[in-house]
């Protein structure tokens, strides 16, 4: 994990955002090429887990993506994701098309995520036992619960983290913060940590000028 974090957090950056698709939206028997082609001009098929108001990310500095549980069928020709000889190349080309210029690494694992008990069964009834999507018209639930499913997880260093870190800095500067017990923390040390946090937030700016969030934090 240390080596992975170091590879994604260059230029003074130390924080990454977490993304996940649980389950990864796939129909039974569909190939990775077919799944990703359906999302070329739509929102990404994975969701942000970190909390900030901008839920759509259009660019990033670096990312690492792991997808497991999708078959290794050889892809066929498809507009926008062509000339790929393997599913690994399909995923890599998709990431480059969505985030041009970003440093991206991707890995595909054949084994799906095990979701048998004691894993909580909070899934939609429109999932098969293997975690693939059913046609809504069928409306049939998977008997016995979902035993496994395809899952995608990603770590991403992106400009949206500027808003997240700046917001944290503003909250920590609240006038009533020091009314709470802060045993073992000197105010000078606390102010120094705030300045370091502000500097870290600035590392995630894209250079298009100061944002409203930054102005509020000054």
Q: What is the reported pTM?
A: 0.77
Q: Which residue has the higher pLDDT, 43 or 125?
A: 125
Task: Tell me the torsion sign for CA atoms 18, 1, 31, 115.
Answer: negative
150 has pLDDT over 90: yes
Backbone angles phi, psi at 149, to 5 degrees: -160, 155
pLDDT digits (tens, 9 = 90+) for 68-118: 998 665 555 555 555 666 888 889 988 988 888 889 999 999 999 999 989
pLDDT band at 217 (very low <50, low <70, confident <90, very high): very low
Mean pLDDT of 37-64: 77
> Can you tell me the distance from the alpha carbon of 162 to that of 213, in angstroms, rounded to the nearest whole number?
9
pLDDT digits (tens, 9 = 90+) for 16-25: 888 899 999 9
Whether residue 151 contacts residue 69, with contact meaning beta carbons closer than 8 Å, is answered with yes
* DSSP letter string, the chain: -HHHHHHH--TT----EEEEESS----TT--HHHHHHTTTTS--SSEE-S--S-------SEEEEEEES---PPP---TTS-S--SHHHHHHHHHHHHSTT-EEEEEEESS-EE--TTS-----TTB-TTSPBPPTTT-PPPTT---EE-EEEEEEE-THHHHHHHHHHHHHT-TTGGGS--TT--HHHHHHHHHHHHHHHHTT--SS---HHHHHH-
pLDDT digits (tens, 9 = 90+) for 115-142: 998 999 888 888 999 999 987 644 444 4
Mean pLDDT of the chain, nearest integer: 79
pLDDT digits (tens, 9 = 90+) for 158-211: 888 888 898 888 888 876 665 565 556 677 888 888 999 999 999 988 754 344
61 has pLDDT over 80: yes
Measured N-to-C along each axis, helices 187-202 and 160-172 cross at an angle, to the nearest 10 degrees, of 160
26 has pLDDT over 50: yes
Strands 151-157 and 113-114: unpaired
Q: Which residue has the higher pLDDT, 201 or 144?
A: 201
* Residue 81 pLDDT: 59
């Amino acid at each position: 994990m240390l080596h992975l974090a170091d590879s994604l957090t260059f230029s003074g950056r130390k924080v990454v955002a977490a993304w996940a698709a649980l389950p990864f939206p796939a129909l039974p028997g569909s190939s990775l090429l077919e799944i990703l082609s359906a999302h070329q001009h739509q929102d990404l098929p994975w969701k942000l887990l970190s909390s900030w108001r901008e839920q759509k990310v259009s660019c990033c500095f670096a990312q690492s993506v792991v997808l497991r549980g999708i078959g290794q069928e050889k892809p066929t020709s498809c507009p926008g994701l062509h000339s790929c000889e393997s599913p690994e190349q399909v995923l890599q080309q998709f990431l480059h098309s969505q985030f041009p210029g970003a440093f991206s690494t991707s890995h595909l694992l054949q084994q799906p995520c095990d979701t048998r008990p004691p894993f909580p069964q909070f899934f939609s009834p429109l999932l098969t036992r293997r975690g693939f999507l059913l046609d809504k018209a069928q409306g049939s639930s998977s008997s016995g619960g979902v035993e496994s499913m395809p899952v995608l997880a990603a770590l991403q260093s992106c400009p949206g983290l500027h808003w997240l870190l700046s917001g944290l800095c503003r909250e920590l500067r609240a006038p009533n913060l020091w009314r709470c017990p802060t045993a073992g923390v000197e105010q000078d040390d606390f102010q120094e940590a705030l300045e370091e946090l502000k500097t870290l937030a600035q590392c995630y700016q894209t250079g298009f000028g100061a944002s409203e969030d930054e102005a509020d934090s000054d």
